[in-house]
Structure 1
Amino acid sequence: MLLTIQHETRYSFDFGVNHGLQRLRLRPKSTHGQQIVEWTTDLQGATHEAAYDDQHQNHVELVSLDPGVREVVVTCHGTVRTADNNGVVGEHSGHFPLWCFLRATPLTRAGLKVRALVAGIDADRRDPLAFLHKMSEAVRGAVDYVPGTTDVKTSAEQALAAGRGVCQDQAHVFISAGRLVDIPTRYVGGYLKMDGRIEQDAGHGWAEAYVRGLGWVGFDVANAICPDERYVRVASGCDYSDAAPFTGIATGTGESRLSVHLSVEENRVGQQQQSQGGQHQSRGE
């Protein structure tokens, strides 16, 4: 599937910025199951300073906010070719060792609620894939999807205690539960093309677990499926904080306001052109 993505993030401030520095994780990964055809990031009210790949192989752009600006706009536009691999991303790679995905973080530390959830899962842990599917079902049943009830600082234990949250919280509970039974798990942030709509409310978050013999396998608890060709992986890490699209500081701004516009649609024209080009090439051979 060829997906075209338009993502605009707009920050408005009460006062002009004295100093500001932001890390952007917005460029999708070229990984197993997806390929970037094109991608651009445009800045208004900010200046590009540097770019690098972090320990999770996330592409990071470092930008400074222009002194005195009261509005910063970051616009991303691109096309990504995806494939349905039944959620399988493949073997582990990168500089971050696999065992680090067994460590608890402030957002994923297991408490009594997570421990009780895991104890109640009726599945054989000797079959990790079947157990993970059961675990995903258990998390979805324990944490209702209710937007606006949590924030980026809500931990897995807090979301489970409240019984509600968003995709990020469900992913954190899944990650916490997996690490409790010695299964490496990680958070993934990205885009999802929802069926029947182009405009999306926000980016999406899900989890991945490492299964011996398969590698990393995705689990979208919120939608009760393994990611397919409608998903675009942008950034991953031990929890949301490692994969957040924006992190940084800004001083002298007063109150700030954030607005996001996101569209994800299938590019059928590009797919038809690719198919026609492939046919002509085959006949030429």
Structure 2
Amino acid sequence: MILTVNHTTSYQYDAPMRAAVQSLRLFPSRFDGQRTIRWQVAVEGGIRGGSFRDGAGDKVEGWSMRGPVEEITISVTGQVETLDLAGVLRGHRETVHPFAYLSETAATWIDDAIETLAQEAVRGAKDPLEQAHQLSRAVADAIAYKPGVTHAHTTAAEALGLGEGVCQDHAHALCAVARAVGMPARYVSGYLHASEDGTPHEAAHAWAEVFVDGIGWIGFDPANGCCPDARYIRLGSGLDAREAAPIKGIALGEGEESLDVAVALESTQQ
């Protein structure tokens, strides 16, 4: 499948800021499941800085803006050819050891409810692959998809307590339950063209990857009850949403910030 992306993020300030710096993780991952045909990232009025590929294999690029800054507009346009690898991250180069992803964070803290859900989910599983699938199903069953009930700082434990949330909450919860049973797991950011039945979906998306001995990293999307396939574009990963965020930045000044995001994906069947 060939997916075309148009993604615009705009930050507005009610008072001019002195300067701003952005760190962008907005580039398609390099692995056997996707090939970049064309891709462009630009910051209107910005100065492009250095770029590097981190230990997790993700490309990061820096931008800066000189004041007065009243608005920052980040645009992404591109086209990626994708292949369904049943969620397996085959051919992805990285140097970080999987055990680094056993670490807990504030968003993925393991409380008693997380621990109980994890242990019950893997009971009876024959091997690590089956454990990973059962953990993903358990999260999907425990947290119904419902926008508006959680926010950017909701933790996995809080979403589990509510029994509702969005893809960020599902990804955090899967990371937490996997780590609770000793399986490395990480948060993944990217794009999703549509749900499995063809229903349009919010294009900016998140899921989790679990490390399975003998196979490697495998993606699981509890929000949609599947493994990432040709409808997904993978951008980057981290221990949680904050670490894997496609856009991080800081603006110097006293203005209040507002945010507007528009993402559109189109597919072309080969």
User: Under a length normalisation based on structure 2, what TM-score does the superposition of the two structures give?
Assistant: 0.93
The letter for the 2-side match of 1:155 is: T
**Aligned pairs (5 A) from 1:174-213:** 174-194=174-194, 196=198, 201-213=202-214
Count of residues in Structure 1 that have an aligned counterpart in Structure 2: 268
**CA contact under 8 A between 1:6 and 1:76: conserved in structure 2?**
yes
Q: Which has the larger radius of gyration?
A: 1
Residue equivalent to 1:248? 249
After TM superposition, what 4+ stretches of structure 1 lie above 6 angstroms from structure 2? none
State the superposition RMSD in angstroms: 1.8
Aligned counterparts of 2:125 and 2:202: Cα–Cα separation in 1: 36
Residue equivalent to 2:266? 265
Structure 1: tracts of 5 or more residues without a match = 272-285
**CA contact under 8 A between 1:17 and 1:68: conserved in structure 2?**
yes
Residue equivalent to 2:7? 7
Aligned counterparts of 1:213 and 1:118: Cα–Cα separation in 2: 21
**CA contact under 8 A between 1:91 and 1:214: conserved in structure 2?**
no
Q: How far apart are residue 149 of structure 1 and its match?
A: 2.1
Deviation string, structure 1 residues 130-168 (Cα, Å, up to 9, x no partner): 222121111111112121222222211111112211101
The letter for the 2-side match of 1:226 is: C
Aligned counterparts of 1:42 and 1:267: Cα–Cα separation in 2: 24
The letter for the 2-side match of 1:238 is: L
Q: How far apart are residue 126 of structure 1 and its match?
A: 4.2
Aligned counterparts of 1:51 and 1:15: Cα–Cα separation in 2: 30
Change (3 A) 1:32 1:242: farther
Matched, 1:17 2:17: yes
Aligned counterparts of 1:193 and 1:92: Cα–Cα separation in 2: 22
Residue equivalent to 1:214? 215
**CA contact under 8 A between 2:119 and 2:181: conserved in structure 1?**
no
Residue equivalent to 1:78? 78
**Aligned pairs (5 A) from 1:96-245:** 96-121=96-121, 123-194=123-194, 196=198, 201-245=202-246
Structure 2: tracts of 5 or more residues without a match = none
Aligned counterparts of 2:190 and 2:62: Cα–Cα separation in 1: 19
**CA contact under 8 A between 1:70 and 1:253: conserved in structure 2?**
no
Aligned counterparts of 2:239 and 2:119: Cα–Cα separation in 1: 23
SS at match of 2:22: strand
Change (3 A) 1:217 1:78: same
SS at match of 2:258: strand
Q: How far apart are residue 254 of structure 1 and its match?
A: 1.5
